[in-house]
Structure 1
Amino acid sequence: MAIYGYARVSTTDQDLTIQIEALNKAGCDIIRQEKKSGSTVDGRTELQTILDFMRHGDVLMVTRVDRLARSIADLQDIVRQVRAKGGSLRATDQPIDTSTAAGKAFLDMLGVFAEFETNLRRERQMEGIAKAKAAGVYKGRPASIDMAAVKEMQAAGLGATEIARRLNIGRASVYRIISPAKERSVTAVG
Structure 2
Amino acid sequence: MALIGYARVSTREQNPESQEAALHEAGAEKVFVDHGESSRMENRPQWIACLDYLRSGDTLMIRALDRIAGTERMAIETIRELGHRGIKLHSLTEPFLDIDATTPMGEAIIGIMAVLAQLRISTIRENTKRGLNHARAQGRIGGRPRVMTDERIQTARNLRAENKSYPQIARILGVSVSTIQRSI
TM-score, normalization by structure 2 = 0.56
Match of 1:63 in 2: 63
Match of 1:167 in 2: none
Deviation for aligned residue 1:138: 7.3
Instruction: Decide whether aligned partners of structure 1 residues 2 and 73 sit closer, same or farther in structure 2, where only a CA change above 3 A counts.
Output: same
Match of 1:5 in 2: 5
Deviation for aligned residue 1:72: 2.0
For the pair 1:38 / 2:39, whether they are aligned, the reply is yes
Runs of 4+ in 1 over 2 A off after TM superposition: 104-109, 129-134, 136-139
Superposition pairs of residues 14-93 of structure 1, within 5 angstroms: 14-35=14-35, 36-42=37-43, 44-93=44-93
Tell me, in whole angstroms, the C-alpha distance in 1 between the residues paired with 2:21 and 2:41.
Answer: 25
Percent of residue pairs identical? 26
Unaligned stretches of 5+ residues in structure 1: 120-128, 144-190
The structure with the larger Rg is: 2
Tell me, in whole angstroms, the C-alpha distance in 2 between the residues paired with 1:26 and 1:132.
Answer: 54
Instruction: Decide whether aligned partners of structure 1 residues 137 and 68 sit closer, same or farther in structure 2, where only a CA change above 3 A counts.
Output: farther
- What is the alpha-carbon root mean square deviation over aligned residues? 3.8
Counterpart AA for 2:22? A
Greater helix fraction, Structure 1 or Structure 2: 2
Unaligned stretches of 5+ residues in structure 2: 125-142, 149-172, 180-184
Match of 1:126 in 2: none
Tell me, in whole angstroms, the C-alpha distance in 2 between the residues paired with 1:138 and 1:79.
Answer: 47
Tell me, in whole angstroms, the C-alpha distance in 2 between the residues paired with 1:11 and 1:99.
Answer: 32
Deviation for aligned residue 1:31: 0.1
